[in-house]
Amino acid sequence: MAKTRSLRWSLPALLLAGQAHATEIQFNMTPGVTDISQQVYNLHMTIFWICCAIGLVVFTAMFVSIILHRKSRGVTPATFHESTKVEIIWTAIPVLILILMAIPATRVLIAMEDTSDSDVTVLVTGSQWRWHYEYLDYDIDFFSILATPRGQIEGRLPKGQNYLLEVDRPLVIPTGKKIRFLMTSDDVIHSWWVPAFAIKKDTNPGFINEAWTRVNEPGIYRGQCAELCGMDHGFMPIVVIAKEPDDFAEWVEQEEARIAAIREEEQRLLALRMNLDEQMELGERVYLAHCAACHQPNGTGLPPMFPALKDNHVTTQDRAEHIRVMVDGRPGTSMASFARQLSLRELTSVITYTRNAWGNDTGDVVQAVEVYEYMQSKGE
Amino acid sequence: MSTVTTADHHDAHHDHKPTGIKRWLFTTNHKDIGSLYLLFALAMFFLGGAMAMVIRLELFQPGMQFVEPQFFNQMTTMHGLIMVFGAVMPAFTGLANWMIPMMIGAPDMALPRMNNWSFWILPFAFLILIISMFLPGGGPDFGWTFYAPLSTTYSNDSTALFVFAIHIMGISSIMGAINVIVTIVNMRAPGMTWMKLPLFVWTWLITAFLLIMVMPVLAGLVTMVLTDKYFATSFFDAAGGGDPVLFQHIFWFFGHPEVYIMILPAFGIISAIVPTFARKKLFGYASMVYATASIAILSFLVWAHHMFTTGMPVYATLFFMYTTMLIAVPTGVKVFNWVATMWRGAMTFEVPMMFALAFIVLFTIGGLSGVMLAIAPVDFQYHDTYFVVAHFHYVLVSGAVFSLVAAAYYWLPKWTGHMYDEKLGQLHFWCSVISVNLLFFPMHFVGLAGMPRRIPDYALQFADFNAFISVGGFLFGLSQLIFVWVLVKCIRGGEKAPAKPWEGAEGLEWEVPSPAPYHTFDTPPQVK
């Protein structure tokens, strides 16, 4: 009894504490959780105070002049102008201040650029509007997409504490190790930004950028895409969980097992026949998470950029084309390939869903084996 | 702002200008064309401002309330394009048209027919741009910086109209710039030597050279976007051997001088107003000219400071960091010069002076945040956040726009022949200066706290600041209606203005009557 009560009291207290933290107004840059981010913060504050000092001198002179040297006080204007001595002084002093600023700035910049001797390498790939993480040292890769429900965005549900800064699968990295990030993109330019690490690096399609971090404290760190990348630029957050090396090793094991299990299930699935209800239920979930941003929850799309799926030739008639588009994407448009983004089960269900939702009513029940065969036929 | 009603009786004896719409369509008179530019800029300022109001309305609260993300992106894109190419640049060209011939003692601009043409293609450019918003799929939504491949492979078909509109704006700017240069070089009155030119003329001369150098770069860039999108070239597509970062290099090679195109003439205006109301000569005329020239030259060597996060080699980053920091030196020289001019003057605080003083303070704040942004390792945290939005609005709104407003108040008596309403003007000033800071100052904080720019919705910890910023935005928008009221009142009537309404003013423009006759300096004045 006593135990339940303490639990009942502590839970809301915990939630409240969390919320108070979220709404606490932050005025300044975060010092972050890495040595580099701390150096960046210190540099920021140094430059900031120097700028304040310069501002103070200039504005004091100006306001003293405004107060004392006004016509209403009956002053007569002086006639002095041009003074080489004064001009040299106010050119030389700023140059000296700038040199003082440039020295620590150069030091920090060079430290940030050294990506050698890393322990773990993660390939970060941006695409409209999700992140893909691939661990080059392990057999792990996955997509990371916004987890905030549309209801919260549209105001039908109360907004959660991490509104717009939450994802379905966060990136997990070990603390104390040097993590090297390789950055690229599948479509437009995105920018991978985690303020707590002081990393912001553009992901350029066709090119690879590098960055690195060494996180000192375990925790959850959140960031966002920082380069305008189209319609849902504001809806592609980044969440990184830093774990102690032992916990990280455990996570790697679990994740590898999970991915192996999915592959096994895919093989089993090929022999199975899924019924319509089952597929509609899963398909709707997948659709809302992955497709609705462009094609809209009711399938009407935003033509001409994002075509309607309702009453569409492909989704109501051409079944083979439908599977092809889902697996290959449409090159040169925002329609990405979903072959790697979704499991076979999800892929199959979402095709079935779009062939039967919003009055498309084809009655088609696509089976996993059909999709699988197409993928095999092109050597996926 | 125009001489329509009062100019006729001054010079009807030798002027046979058409009346009505024909006068404005076919005019080759620098004053008429100046007025057209200024009125056009004012209209665009309100159109771009209305789009900013949509942005601030959507950002008032977290969540999507009023517009779709795609429309939001169109609003930020069009707001930027309209304010840069439709409001600020034409307004400065309007001032150049009105003031440069009168300041150097010339009867008109050197190439009056081209002058007419360079204005009249402008409304069509913006018509095309605005029409593009009503195409299926909407207008440009890739930001005013239109980075490839978002503007090529992934854009909608309004891009073709966008490209065409930018071409026309570019042609207009280049013709305007040629006219300014030819006028200043060839048509100065006898005795008006280079180092006697008013600073507004000097800054505009240097600006015109910048325009001629960078507008063709922009034209080349939009053409590359067009061919990448429609004619299968691969300038910015790695799959065909191109590079998306190349786009940014070309864009900012145009874009950074463009920033100074919008601020150098402002320096000229402030350098005219401060000495007038301090009743004291500008402290260092020569050093102001040299500082302007050095800023213009440096502006070609700093472009990649907009691109620190694109993954440039570290030595390139260092180079652009150092050159950017250097710009603080000539800019500092300007600010120190204005303060030294005020020092031991005998100041009065009419509306033009108030806006000029606000300019100096707020532009300096924007300049100092610019120094912070120059520091590459820290810029990784500032880049593409609201800190940047705060920075460039401080230099563009409380900088360039405030200087334009100050110029309007300063020369309105010369243009209309009437004094503006001082009380209303002061009201306009105080409303503007308070609301502009409510609007843009908190953006520094919200940017440092981690809010990216160009997002239609945001995390909850940014909510309080954004509500505050939006209120500031609405107030700033409303305050500008007072300006329109002042203008209308001043054009329609008011206290008669003498030839030289400001006690401390110097320059040829004050030697002609107010309002300035339709034709001035038919015989060149002798400058001693």
**How many domains, in total, are found in chain B?**
1
The dihedral formed by the CA atoms of A182, A185, A190 and A196, expressed in degrees to the nearest 10: -20
Alpha-carbon gap, residue B208 to B181, rounded angstroms: 7
Query: Using N-to-C axis directions, what is the helix angle for B314-342 and B264-278, rounded to 10°?
Result: 20
Q: Is B348 an interface residue toward A (CB < 8 Å)? A: yes
Looking at residues A1-26, what average pLDDT do you find? 46
Summarize the confidence of residues A162-187 as an average pLDDT.
Answer: 95
Residue B2 included in any domain: no
Does residue B69 have a cis bond before it (omega within 30 degrees)? Answer: no
Strand partners, B347: A70
Per-residue pLDDT tens for B308-365? 999 999 999 999 999 999 999 999 999 999 999 999 999 999 999 999 999 999 999 9
Using the CB atoms, write b or e for A101-118: b if 16+ within 10 Å.
bbebbbebbeebbeeeeb
pLDDT greater than 50 at residue A169: yes
Q: Which of A113, A195, A209 sits opposite B314 (nearest CB)?
A: A113
d(CA B315, CA A327): 43
DSSP letter for each residue of A228-267: --STTGGG-EEEEEEE-HHHHHHHHHHHHHHHHHHHHHHH
CATH code of the domain containing B216: 1.20.210.10
Report pLDDT digits (tens) over B463-476: 999 999 999 999 99
pLDDT at B276 over 60: yes
Test mutation, B141, B234, B279, B336, chain A, max A CBs within 10 A: B336
CA dihedral A37, A41, A46, A52 (to 10 degrees): 150
Place of tokens 């009942």: A8
Nearest to A132 by CA among A195, A140, A141: A141
CB atoms within 10 A of CB A26: 15
Q: Is B13 among the domain residues? A: yes
How many CA atoms lie less than 13 Å away from B234 in the CB half-sphere? 10
- Sign of the Cα torsion B23, B27, B29, B34 reads positive
Cβ of A54 within 8 Å of Cβ of B368? The answer is: yes
Where residue B382 falls (left for φ over 0; alpha for ψ -120 to 50; beta otherwise) is alpha
Tokens of B135: 């195409």
pLDDT of residue B16: 65
Task: Look up residue A327 and give its two tokens.
Answer: 């697996």
Query: In chain A, what percentage of residues exceed pLDDT 70?
Result: 93
Sheet of strand A140-144, all strands in order from the earlier edge strand to the far edge: A140-144, A130-135, A120-127, A179-185, A209-213
Q: How many other C-beta atoms lie within 10 A of the C-beta of residue A296?
A: 17
Q: Does residue B516 sit in helix, strand or coil? A: coil
pLDDT score recorded for residue B14 = 55
pLDDT of residue A23: 54
Q: Judged by CB atoms within 8 Å, which residues 150-179 of A form the interface with B?
A: 152-155, 159, 161-165
**Per-residue pLDDT tens over the stretch A341-360:** 888 888 889 999 999 999 88
Q: What residue in B sits closest to A234 (Cα-Cα)?
A: B455
Positive or negative torsion for Cα A214, A218, A222, A225:
positive
Q: Which of A55, A77, A69, A79 is nearest to B283 (CA)?
A: A79
Q: Report yes or no: A106 at the B interface, CB cutoff 8 Å.
A: yes
pLDDT at A20 over 70: no
Q: Where do the domains of chain A lie? A: 35-71+82-113, 120-260, 273-377
Strand A140-144 and strand A171-174: pairing?
unpaired
Which two three-digit tokens encode residue A201? 């690096």
Q: How far apart are the C-alpha atoms of B121 and A347, rounded to whole Å?
A: 53
**How far is residue B268's CA from residue B359's CA, in Å, rounded to a whole number?**
12
Query: Residue B132 falls within a domain, yes or no?
Result: yes
Interface contact flag, B309 A191, Cβ < 8 Å: yes
Cβ separation A62–B346 shorter than 8 A = no
Class of A273-377 in CATH: mainly alpha
Q: What is the pLDDT of residue A265?
A: 82
Of B32, B58, B108, B379, the catalytic one is B108
Q: Is the pLDDT of residue A154 over 70?
A: yes
CA distance B211 to B217: 10
Nearest to B460 among A155, A163, A230 (CB): A163
- What is the longest distance spanned by two Cα atoms in chain A? 99
Q: CA-to-CA distance for B62 and B70, rounded, in angstroms?
A: 17
Among B7-11, B183-187, B457-461, the minimum mean pLDDT is found in B7-11
What 8-state DSSP symbol labels residue B173?
H
B238 touches chain A (CB under 8 A): yes
- For the residues B260-267, what does the mean pLDDT come to? 96
Distance CA B451, CA B459 (A): 8
**CA–centroid distance for B441 within its chain:** 20
Quote the pLDDT of residue A11: 40
**Confidence (pTM):** 0.89
Q: Quick check: A139 and A262 in contact, CB under 8 A?
A: no
Question: What's the pLDDT at A369?
Answer: 85
Q: Is the pLDDT of residue A332 over 90?
A: no
Q: Give the pairing type, strands A190-194 and A130-135.
A: unpaired
Residue A352 CA to residue A370 CA, distance in Å, equals: 12
The residues, any chain, with a CB within 8 Å of residue A23's CB and separated by 6 or more, are B460, B461, B463, B464
| For residue A174, pLDDT beyond 70 | yes
Residue B454 among the catalytic residues: no
User: What local confidence, expressed as pLDDT, does residue B461 receive?
Assistant: 93
Rg (CA), chain B: 23
**Predicted confidence (pLDDT) per residue in A98-148, tens digit:** 999 999 999 999 999 888 899 999 999 999 999 999 999 998 999 999 999
Query: CA of B94: how far to CAs of A99, B86, B173, B180, in Å?
Result: 40, 12, 12, 11
Query: Cβ of A313: how many Cβ atoms within 10 Å?
Result: 10
pLDDT, residue A146, reads 93
- Rounded to whole angstroms, how far apart are CA atoms B343 and A53? 20
Residue of A189, A238, A296 to mutate, testing the B interface (most B Cβ within 10 Å of its Cβ): A189
Judge whether B228 and B237 are in contact, CB under 8 Å: yes
Nearest to A154 among B63, B238, B357 (CB): B63
Query: Is residue B1 in a domain?
Result: no
Task: Find the residue in A nearest to B67 (Cα).
Answer: A154
B138 token code pair: 């909407």
For the question of residue B260 being annotated catalytic, the response is yes
Contacts of B291 (CB under 8 A, 6+ apart): B330, B331, B333, B334, B337
Give the architecture (CATH level 2) of A120-260: Sandwich (2.60)
Q: What is the pLDDT of residue A81?
A: 85
Contacts of A92 (CB under 8 A, 6+ apart): none
Cross-strand bridge partners of residue A144: A131
Using only the alpha carbons of chain A, give its radius of gyration. Answer: 28
Taking the C-alpha atoms of residue A177 and residue A285, their distance in angstroms, rounded to an integer, is 37
pLDDT value, residue B498: 96
What pLDDT, on the 0 to 100 scale, is given for residue B15?
Answer: 59
Query: Is B403 a member of any domain?
Result: yes
Contact list in A for residue B354 (CB cut-off 8 A) is: none
Which residue blocks in B283-375 are alpha helix, DSSP H?
285-298, 314-342, 351-374
How far apart CA A369 and CA A364 sit, in angstroms, is 14
Strand order of the β-sheet with A237-243 is A171-174, A237-243, A219-225, A190-194, A199-203
Could you give the count of Cα atoms lying within 13 Å of B153 in the half-sphere of its Cβ? 25
Sign, CA dihedral A39-A42-A47-A48, equals positive
Provide the β-strand partners of residue A223: A238
> Regarding beta strands A199-203 and A140-144, do their DSSP bridges make them parallel or antiparallel, or are they unpaired?
unpaired
Q: Is the pLDDT of residue A277 over 70?
A: yes
Q: Tell me if A127 sits within 8 A of A336, measured CB to CB.
A: yes
Among residues B306, B383, B391, B418, which one is catalytic? B306
Q: Can you read off the two tokens belonging to residue B92? A: 């400065």
Picking from A29, A153, A188, the nearest residue to B154 by CB comes out as A188
Per CATH, A120-260 and A273-377 having the same topology is answered no
Query: At A238, phi and psi to the nearest 5?
Result: -125, 130
Mark whether B79 is an active-site residue: yes
- What is the domain extent for residue B193? 8-511
How far is it between the farthest Cα atoms of chain B?
A: 69
| Residues in chain A within 8 Å Cβ distance of B137 | 302-305
Q: Are B31 and B518 in contact (CB under 8 A)?
A: yes
Q: Return the half-sphere exposure (C-beta side, CA atoms, 13 A cut-off) of residue B282.
A: 27
Residue B473 · residue A53 · CB < 8 Å: no
User: Do residues A40 and B378 lie in contact, with contact meaning Cβ atoms separated by under 8 Å?
Assistant: yes
DSSP type of residue A289: I
Q: Is some CB atom of chain B closer than 8 A to the CB atom of A245?
A: no
Average pLDDT over residues B426-451: 97
Pairwise CA distance, residues A338 & A143, whole Å: 11
- What confidence category does residue A373 fall into, taking pLDDT thresholds of 50, 70 and 90? confident
Is B216's pLDDT higher than 90? yes
What distance in Å separates the CA atoms of residue A286 and residue A274, rounded to the nearest whole number?
A: 16
For residue B348, list chain A residues with Cβ-Cβ distance below 8 A. Answer: 70-72
> What are phi and psi for residue A248, nearest 5 degrees?
-65, -45
Per-residue pLDDT, A13: 41
Under 8 Å between Cβ of A343 and A262: yes
Out of A51, A193, A224, closest to residue B372 by CB: A51
Q: What is the mean pLDDT of chain B?
A: 94
Q: Write the pLDDT tens digit of every residue in B103-139.
A: 999 999 999 999 999 999 999 999 999 999 999 888 9
Q: How far apart are CA A111 and CA B500, in angstroms?
A: 61
Cα(B429)–Cα(B426) distance, integer angstroms? 5
B158-186 vs B122-131: helix crossing angle, rounded to 10: 160
Q: How far is CA B393 from the centre of its chain?
A: 11
